[in-house]
Amino acid sequence: MGKPTGFLEIKREELTDELPLERIKHWNEFHTPMAQEAVQNQAARCMDCGTPFCHTGANLPSGASGCPVYNLIPDWNDMLYKGHWEKAFKLLMKTNNFPEFTGRVCPAPCEGACVLGINEPPVTIKNHEYSIIEYAFEQGWITPQIPETKTGKKVAIIGSGPAGLAAADELNQRGHSVTIYERADRAGGLLMYGIPNMKLDKQKVVERRLQLMQAEGITIKTGVEIGKDVTMQELQQTNDAVILATGSTVPRDLPVKGRELEGVHFAMDYLTQSTKSLLNSNHADTRLPDRQDNYINAKGKNVVVIGGGDTGTDCVATALRQGCKSVKQLEIMAMPPESRADANPWPEYPKIYKLDYGQQEAEAKQGKDPREYVVMTKRFKGEGDKLTAVVTTQIKWISKDGRMIPQEVLGTEKTITADLVFLAMGFTGPEQGVLKQAKVNISERGNVAADYGKFSTNVEGIFAAGDCRRGQSLVVWAINEGRAVAKECDGYVSIKQH
């Protein structure tokens, strides 16, 4: 695809980012869009590889490989190279409801599976996706697509994250009347409050899509908690089907001594409050008990983030923008290698060392990567009720009974000064309240029991998709499940008799 010899002649070029010390002064997105000619030039690197793996979405023993929504990557790269941007846009929209989200926040497993990536830097697929959809918005190609006919069938979706939104979009286009219920004050789920504004702009990007969906006929009700404001029984009685898309929102805790000290918070509480305050008052409010839009402010504080991944990175970046005194990030796992290990071959997602945006900013501000590896938190120390320090120890991973467990390295205990600690250790599953009211079966892992591909629960007419079904995962996998559950739900309501 593209230029037959492009991958031999053209080097990979990334988006230009605003300098770290400049971008931490604001909360805006900091990527500079690439010129059309440059994007087309990069698209020329897409090889005629014969059997592309970038769009496969294969499930390998170590995890997914390639694009989970099966984007037609070689096809739209070819259109880009030839300058046919509208054709590229139409191909992109065949498989992905929200390229403006994935083009910003997806870790790009497609690039990890790129054939060129075996021995050269892979094609800049994620940037092409971002560039196509933003150009399409600029050109006015994206307008409300209102279904010509309505089926008279009604579907309720609980949760407005990427899975719920994708399901709603698909079902609406099939002519069903769709209502999304969101307990927060704004729709979007983790897209709105779980991902900071500098990574995904809420008003310019998330609200833009939500307004488009509403213009297409989808009803979004915010501030409505199912089980309290509306019962599951009421939803079932007034709809032909219900889709659970509540996400995986129960954070993994750290039950060590001192956990109750003031200053120890879950990462998602921190990120949510910060974004809500930014949107409500541009952070003009203070953290007072009588203010709904209060937030945890790291200004002038020594911050420790426990855990890695995107959430940990987002905490680092948020603390820096708030003006923290220092920030450290503790990871229990070993530092990844600079290049693929033998146990991590192509086309698996490459588990290699990299500086994400938050670590880049911390390095620029503090002189080094804020992460410390193979570190375990032993306890929190405080004066009175307030946190003052984190006590850690180095660990090594040993094999016991066929699994790897951490073992403390004696003599490595260390005390780190801390005013704030953010726990970013992932999530254990969905909240159980609405699931119990729905009377759906729960899997051994604590998720809604519903087979992938069918998405139906043990309760007739109730389906489940996204993180509440599969566990904590990527935005692109949530979109995959939202699209797939919509297909199954459509089949169910289409044959259901009133």
Minimum mean pLDDT range among 130-139, 344-353, 434-443 = 344-353
Neighbours of 473 (CB within 10 A): 18
* Residue range 253-425 in CATH 3.50.50.60: yes
Alpha-carbon dihedral of residues 181, 187, 193, 199, nearest 10 degrees?
Answer: 140
* pLDDT at 407 exceeding the cut of 60: yes
Predicted model pTM: 0.95
Query: Going by C-beta distance under 8 Å and a sequence separation of 6 or more, which residues neighbour residue 6?
Result: 44, 45, 46, 47, 81
Binning pLDDT at 50, 70 and 90, where does residue 129 land? very high
Tell me if 44 sits within 8 A of 10, measured CB to CB: yes
Tell me what pLDDT residue 294 has: 80
- Report the alpha-carbon angle 483-471-249, nearest 5: 100
* Shared fold status for 154-249+428-495 and 253-425: yes
CA angle 292, 298, 300 (to 5 degrees): 135
Using the predicted structure, report yes or no on whether residue 288 has a pLDDT greater than 70: no
pLDDT score, position 64:
74
User: Does the pLDDT of residue 232 top 80, yes or no?
Assistant: yes
Residue 230 pLDDT grade (very low, low, confident, very high; cuts 50, 70, 90): very high
Question: Binning pLDDT at 50, 70 and 90, where does residue 284 land?
Answer: confident
Residue 201 Cα to chain centre, angstroms? 14
**Where do the structural domains in the chain lie, given as residue ranges?**
6-139, 154-249+428-495, 253-425
Architecture of the domain spanning 154-249+428-495: 3-Layer(bba) Sandwich (3.50)
Q: What was the pLDDT predicted at 2?
A: 67
Contact 213, 187 (CB under 8 A): no
pLDDT at residue 289 greater than cutoff 60: no
Q: For position 498, what pLDDT does the model report?
A: 58
**Residues 453-478: pLDDT tens digits?**
999 999 999 999 999 999 999 999 99
Predicted pLDDT of residue 496: 76
Contact 74, 1 (CB under 8 A): yes
pLDDT tens, position by position, 5-19:
989 999 999 999 999
CA distances from 61 to 279, 400, 452 (A): 41, 21, 17
Residue 154: which of 231, 238, 222 has the closest Cα?
A: 238
Q: What is the CATH number of domain 6-139?
A: 1.10.1060.10
DSSP class of 15: P
Mean pLDDT of 367-379: 97
Kindly state the average pLDDT of the residues 114-135: 97
What's the pLDDT score for residue 488?
98
The three-state secondary structure class of 235 is helix
What pLDDT band is residue 293 in, cutting at 50, 70 and 90? Answer: low
Q: Give the three-class secondary structure for 170.
A: helix
CA distance 487 to 498: 20
By CB neighbour count within 10 A (0-12 exposed, 13-18 middle, 19+ buried), where does 216 fall? middle
Give CA separation, 300 vs 68, 324, 341, 418, 475, in Å.
42, 5, 40, 11, 33
Range 392-418 average pLDDT: 94
CA distance 281 to 300: 21
Can you give the pLDDT at residue 356?
A: 96
What is the rounded distance in angstroms from the CA atom of residue 300 to the CA atom of residue 28?
Answer: 22
pLDDT band at 122 (very low <50, low <70, confident <90, very high): very high
Mean pLDDT computed over every residue of the chain: 95
Q: For residue 48, what pLDDT band results from cuts at 50, 70 and 90?
A: confident
Q: What is the pLDDT of residues 196-223, one digit of tens each?
A: 999 999 999 999 999 999 999 999 999 9
pLDDT tens string 172-193: 999 999 999 999 999 999 999 9
Q: Is 40 helix (H, G, I), strand (E, B) or coil?
A: helix
Strand locations in 8-144 (E): 16-17, 31-32, 58-60, 63-65
